[in-house]
Chains A and B, each alone.
Chain A
Amino acid sequence: MSLDARVGIVLVSHSAALAEGAADLAAQISGGTVAIIPAGGTEDGGLGTSSARVTRAVKLADSGAGVLILPDLGSAVLTVRVLLSEPDDLPAPIELADAPFVEGVVAATVAAAGGADITAVRAAAEEARDVRKL
């Protein structure tokens, strides 16, 4: 791992627009120094999740410090879990966060931009469920 490597983030959503929008927002808040790769929708542009898209995104997101994956709902979680059950061709470390989608990616990306390791980046994402907006 190089000294400058940041944990990469992958957003897995049923909707390509949702994943791309959340990635844009998190990039702007965190200053644009972290790879945030959206993996939304199916290969034919519909709503759903695609294992192949997630695999490509994970490889793009990795810069040597590992990758944290944030899923939106339901089958996005299942798709990632199946992928991670055979992680031989994937970067390591690679982890799945149990976190709110928007708040989680913002918190994770800011932590990654600050140089946190994957354990701390995942913790930042998962703590997002306990932070009140109001």
Chain B
Amino acid sequence: MSANYEQAITLNGDLHARPAGALAVAAAQFSSAVSITAGASSANAKSVLAVMGLGATSGQQITVSADGPDAEEAVGAIVAILLEATRVGT
């Protein structure tokens, strides 16, 4: 069963290279298409370079969305990584 799911969060730190890498590795574990939207830009969450290219910074609201059989799990996992990995501003 395919599904759409999305969740908006506010970043606690900048979406730098290391959190972008952790996020892309995690997104690859799901079969759903996963994307991150920041302002007017959207990126495939499985592409570390595209995620870095968003240039998302602390305090910015971003939306994690997924489309596919494991969409809800994917969004949950990515949101958890974003909250954890951006907390220390790495």
Contact = CB atoms under 8 A, between A and B. Distances in A.
B28 A29 contact: no
Contacts of A31: 21-22, 25
B28 A111 contact: yes
B42 interface: no
A124 B49 CA distance: 10
Interface string B21-58: 11011111100000000000000001111101101000
A7 interface: no
B48 A29 contact: yes
Main secondary structure of the interface of B (DSSP, over half): helix
A75 interface: no
Interface in A104-118: 106-107, 110-111, 113-116
A36 to B, nearest CB: 13
A127 interface: yes
A70 to B, nearest CB: 14
Interface residues of A, number: 21
B77 interface: no
From A25, A114, A116, name the one whose CB has the most chain B CB atoms within 10 angstroms.
Answer: A114
Contact of B25 (A114, A127, A131): A114
Contacts of A116: 28
B83 interface: no
A131 B55 CA distance: 13
Contact of A131 (B17, B24, B46, B53): B53
24 contacts: A28-B21, A29-B20, A30-B25, A31-B22, A103-B49, A106-B17, A106-B21, A106-B48, A106-B49, A107-B48, A110-B21, A110-B25, A111-B24, A111-B28, A114-B25, A114-B27, A114-B28, A114-B29, A114-B46, A127-B47, A131-B47, A132-B53, A133-B53, A134-B55
Given A106-B49, A114-B26, A132-B53, 14 more contacts: A28-B18, A29-B48, A30-B21, A30-B25, A30-B48, A103-B49, A106-B21, A110-B48, A113-B25, A113-B28, A115-B29, A131-B47, A131-B50, A133-B53
